[in-house]
Structure 1
Amino acid sequence: MTLPTRRPTLADLLISSQFAFNVGFYAVLPHLSAHLSGTLGPAGRLVGLVLGLRTFSQQGMFVIGGALVDGYGPRPLVLTGCLLRIAGFVGLAFAEATWAVIASVLLVGFAAAFFSPAVETEIAREAVRAEHGGGPARTRTLARFSAAGQAGALIGPVIGALLLHGGFTAACLAGAGVFVLVLLGHRRLKPPGRRSATKQARRPFDPRPVLAHRPFLLLAAAYSTYLLAYNQLYLALPSELDRATGSQEALGWLFALSSALVVTCQLPLERLVSKRLTWPGTIRLGLLVLAVSFAATAALLPLGGLWPATVFVVLLILGQMLVVPATRACLTGLVDPDRLGVFTGALSSLSGLLVLLGSIPAGALLGVGGPAPWLALAALPLVGVLLVPNTNRTRGLAVAASSRRSLG
Structure 2
Amino acid sequence: MKVAQPHLALSDRQGLRALLFYTFLMVLGFTMLMPLVAVHFVSNVGMSSATVGIALAVRQLTQQGLTVAGGLLSDKLGAKPMICAGVLVRALGFAALAWAGDPLLLILALVISALGGALFEAPYQATIVALTDDTNRRHYYLVSNWVSGIASTIGPLIGIALLQFDFQSVCYGAAACFFVNYLISLFFLPRVTTPGATQAPAANLKGVLHDRRFVFFTGLMGGYWFTSVQVNISFPLWAEKLSGIQESVGIMYAVSAAITVALQYPLVKLAERRFDTREILTIGVVTMALSLGAIGFVEQFYAFLICVVFFTLGVLLTRPTQQTITAALADGKSLGTYLGFSSLGLAVGGGLGNAIGGLLIDIAKTQQLLMLPWLVYCAVGLLSAAGLYWLTGTTASDKTNLLSQTQ
Partner Cα separation in structure 1 for residue 45 and residue 200 of structure 2:
42
After TM superposition, the score normalised by the length of structure 2 is 0.77
User: Is 1:10 matched up with 2:15?
Assistant: yes
**Which residue matches 1:384?**
384
Which residue does the alignment assign to 2:214?
A: 216
Once the two structures are superposed, residues 197-252 of structure 1 have per-residue CA deviations (whole angstroms, 9 ceiling, x without a partner) of 66423424765443443222332233222222223335554676577667776343
Identity level (%): 24
Which AA in structure 1 matches 2:142? A
Quick one: structure 1 residues 214 and 311, their matched pair in 2 at CA, closer, same or farther if it must change by over 3 Å?
farther
Corresponding position: 1:350 with 2:345: yes
Change (3 A) 1:338 1:313: same
Are residues 1:256 and 2:254 paired? Answer: yes
- Following superposition, the deviation at residue 286 of structure 1 comes to 1.0
Cα pair 1:230 1:316 within 8 Å, conserved: no
2:184 is matched by which residue type in structure 1?
G
SS of residue matched to 1:61: helix
Structure 1 residue 269: Cα displacement:
1.3
Distance in 2 between the 1:195 and 1:382 partners? 39
Q: What aligned pairs does 1:40-79 form with structure 2 within 5 A after superposition? A: 51-79=56-84
| Alignment-derived partner of residue 403 in structure 1 | none
Q: CA deviation at 1:94?
A: 6.8
Task: Kindly report which structure 2 residues correspond to 1:4-403, keeping only aligned pairs within 5 A, or say none.
Answer: 8-32=13-37, 51-92=56-97, 104-127=109-132, 129=133, 131-132=134-135, 136=136, 138-164=137-163, 167-191=166-190, 199-204=197-202, 207-234=205-232, 237=235, 250-294=248-292, 296-297=294-295, 301=298, 304-357=299-352, 363-364=359-360, 366=364, 369=369, 374-375=374-375, 377-388=377-388, 389-390=391-392
CA distance in 2 between counterparts of 1:97 and 1:385 reads 38
Letter in 1 for 2:369: G
SS in 1 for 2:208: helix
Q: Distance in 1 between matches of 2:280 and 2:150?
A: 23
The 10-residue stretch of structure 1 (267-276 or 373-382) with the greater mean CA deviation from structure 2: 373-382
- The structure with more radius of gyration: 1
Q: What do residues 365-384 of structure 1 show as CA deviations (whole Å, max 9, x unaligned)?
A: 85673657645543333322
Does the 8 A contact of 1:73 with 1:197 survive in 2?
Answer: no
Q: What do residues 271-303 of structure 1 show as CA deviations (whole Å, max 9, x unaligned)? A: 1122333322211121222233245456x54xx
Give the alignment's TM-score, normalised by structure 1. Answer: 0.77
Report the CA distance between 1:265 and its aligned residue.
Answer: 1.2
Mapped contact 2:157–2:254 kept (Cα < 8 A): no
Matches of 2:197 and 2:239 in 1, distance apart? 54
The count of corresponding residues between Structure 1 and Structure 2 is 385
